[in-house]
Structure formats: structure tokens, C-alpha cells
Amino acid sequence: MRQPVNRGWRRSPISRLEKTMPDGRSTAHLFEPKLIAVLREGYGWPSFRADVGAGVTVAVVALPLSMAIAVASGVGPERGLYAAIVGGAIVSLLGGSRAQIGGPAGAFIVLVSATAARFGIDGLLTAVLMSGVMLSLAGALRLGSLVRHIPHAVTVSFTCAIAVTIAASQLKDLAGLQLAGREPGPLLAKLQALAAAATTVNLAALAVGVGVGAAILIVRRLRPGWPGMLLAVAGASALAAGLHLPVETIGTHFGAIPGGLPTPSLPRLDPATLLAVAPAAASFTLLGAVESLLSAKVADRMIGRRHRSNMELVAQGVANVASAMFGGICVTGTIARTATNVRAGARSPMAGILQAAFLLAFMLIAAPLAGYIPLAALAGLLLVVAWNMAERVEFLRLLKHGPSAAVVLTTFVVTIAHELSTGIAAGCVVAALLAWLGRPLPEEGD
């Protein structure tokens, strides 16, 4: 059953193109950004004022989260901000959803980290740019509707698998562990290396990380309207600096964050590099398409509208190309920030453009403050993100249904043991075989 329209989202008079179906179904096939439809309907001061408020709210959430995702991905925190600013602005400017917020997402942490470790920053940026081209081509070829047909059991299980890998990847910084060598990528090898380094635990870092995670959950419970993530990270940073705690910070690990955007440039595009990073680019493309369209569907349910899936893929593609040119990591639609945007009263894609502008203002004015943020604080934040990402109740529900259990377990195990695209492919193959045998899978809400 479709959820009721969020009362904070007031529709403007519908455009001529949408008169036959006010929820946007009749125009869902168009290659036209939703921002144009909003401007055509009439965009005035009340809507702009609401979008400013929503933009500020989302920027407060996106600021620590974008840096945390970048750090967890093995790159500098500024690259997460570049993606949120440049990519986020383009997603809202060109996208096919009225409420979608684009930026770096936790689901990409493992893929980005592995790509950066193997090919370096230049190779990573090349893969992000290639992924952007692939996403735009997928949208131009009208493949957006195909992505939406990935079975519900597959999306739930690979999301849970990603949550597990994100949580495991944060244990080192959370406890301030000192490993003998590079942290392994595969989950079992990672856990073994972390267990071997257990004697090096930094109690101050552990206290900071656990404290941040607990503070976020407590604020969310008692004061859900407050920016719990920003308050927790800011409080931990002030405490660590004031007490001179022996914890590693963004400043000590990465150096100073630049006070603005860099000059855009193309990454390496020689044939050898393109061929080498092509598999990583394909994985970025698949995950980006799935994640962004799932996020757009969440927004649809909240505002009672229909997004333009193919236009959304084109926008995501352009955003990734631009992010790579500015040195940013992968961009996709982000479910939590999109939901926050709607709940904050956003009226149009202008809210997403404004949140990118507010993030840029932070870089220009207050970037040096980010150097005081403890890495353990960001790890605690991402553990909460992983906990929220895992659809635990739905995962267990699907395990109780024979056919869906086979799909869930196959996708989960293969994603954990190998990587995302292989896990999705394996789950879809099992689902197709079950459909051929006449064993349908339950869908969301069944």
C-alpha cells in the first residue's frame, strides 16, 4: 500500500504535461529534469524558503557523513566533500526525482577502498568517470526500468551484506588498532588480522567511537529533530582536543582539508588504465543504478510522486563524471539523506542544490576545524549507518520463506565472499531458476 503523501511536501499547480496524471506517471518516460517541471509549474518565495531550510538540514547530516565515508574508503575526507558538493548539485539539477539527494554512500565503501588500494587514486577516479559514462548510457538506452525489476530478496540481502562489511571495516579505527601490515580486504582475513592486533587497542579511541555511536542513537531517540551525527562528532572532537586524548584525527592522518574545490581535470584515460579498471567501473555502475533508483522509489512513496528513472540514471552518470574531474569519489542517490530532505519540508530539487552550496560554504570558511575530528568518531558514526542500513526484520522474514531464503542466502554469502556484482548476479540467477520452477518470491510488504 502506498504511504500517504508527506504533509510537508505541498504540490504546486500541476503542469500541462501532468494534468492527466498528477502523480507524474504520465511523464515518467520523459528525458527532462524534474527541476524544469517545478519551474514550469511556478516556483515562488514560499517554496524557496522551505528548500533553504531543508538544504541546511541535509547539509548538517551530509557534512560528517561524507567525510566518514571517504575516510572509510581509504581516501582523504575532502574527496567525500567534493562528491557531495559537485555530484550532489548535479543530481538535483538534472535528476528525475523531485526529492533525491546525491552524494557518497556507505554502500560503496568496500568497492572504493579495494579499487583505491589496487589502482591508486588516479585509477579510482578513472573508474568513477567510466562508471558515470556507463550510467548515462544506461539511462539513454532506457534501462532504468530493468534495474527496478531486481528481486526484492536480492536487494535486501546484498544491502545486509554491505552493512556487515562496512561494520567490519570500521573496527580498526574504532579501537585504534595497530596492524602489522595493510588491512586485508576479504572479511574473514580482515577479522583474523584485527583479532591478532587486539592487544594494541587504544582505550581512548574506543571510548570516543563507542561514545559517538551511543550519542547518535540517544539523540535520535530523545530528540529526533536534532542533528545527532553532527552534534556527536563535534562533541567528540572538542572533547578529544580539550583533553589532549591520544587518538588519531583527520588532521594527523590526512593533513589539512583544502579550503575549496580543486581545478577540474581529467584522470588517466590511457587504454591500459581503462581496461584495468573496467571491472571496478562496472561494479560502481551496477551498485549506483540500484542504489539511486531504490532511493528514488523511497522518495516516491513519501511524496506521492513518480520519478523519471532514465533521466535519473543520466543525471547520476553526469554527476559521477563531474565528481571524478574534481577528485571526488562515487556519487549515488542516498536513501537516508533523501528521506531527511523530504521530512525537512523540501519542495523541489532546489533543496539538493542548496545543500551542496552549504557544504561548499563549510569548505570555504571552516575546513580547518575538520582536522580535529577523531577517526574513531567517524568509525562510530559509520557503525550506526551500517546498523540502520541492514534491513534486519525484512531479512529474517524472507529467510522464513523457502524460495526467498535460497535467494537471500546465496546473495548474502556470495557478496560477503566475493563482491557486490557477483552477489547480485548469483541472487538473480537463483531467483530466475525459482521463477522457472513456479516458485515465486515474496515482494516488499507481502
- Rounded Cα distance, 429 and 435, in Å: 10
Give residue 6's pLDDT band: very low, low, confident or very high (50, 70, 90). Answer: very low
Give me the pLDDT at residue 436, please. Answer: 84
Residue written as grid cell 563535534: 234
Dig out the grid coordinates for 30 from the structure.
520523459
Average pLDDT (387-402) is: 86
Give residue 15's pLDDT band: very low, low, confident or very high (50, 70, 90). Answer: very low
Q: Is the pLDDT of residue 389 over 70?
A: yes
Alpha helices (H) in 267-347, listed in sequence order? 271-303, 309-325, 335-343
pLDDT tens-digit map of 182-228: 888 778 888 999 999 999 999 999 999 999 999 999 999 998 888 88
- Rounded Cα distance, 288 and 330, in Å: 8
Average pLDDT (362-382) is: 92
Give residue 2's pLDDT band: very low, low, confident or very high (50, 70, 90). Answer: very low
- pTM for this structure? 0.85
Give me the pLDDT at residue 301, please. Answer: 84
Q: How far is CA 38 from CA 9, 26, 52, 87, 261, in A?
A: 13, 15, 16, 21, 29
Collapse the DSSP code of 124 into the 3-class scheme (helix H, G, I; strand E, B; otherwise coil) and give the result. Answer: helix
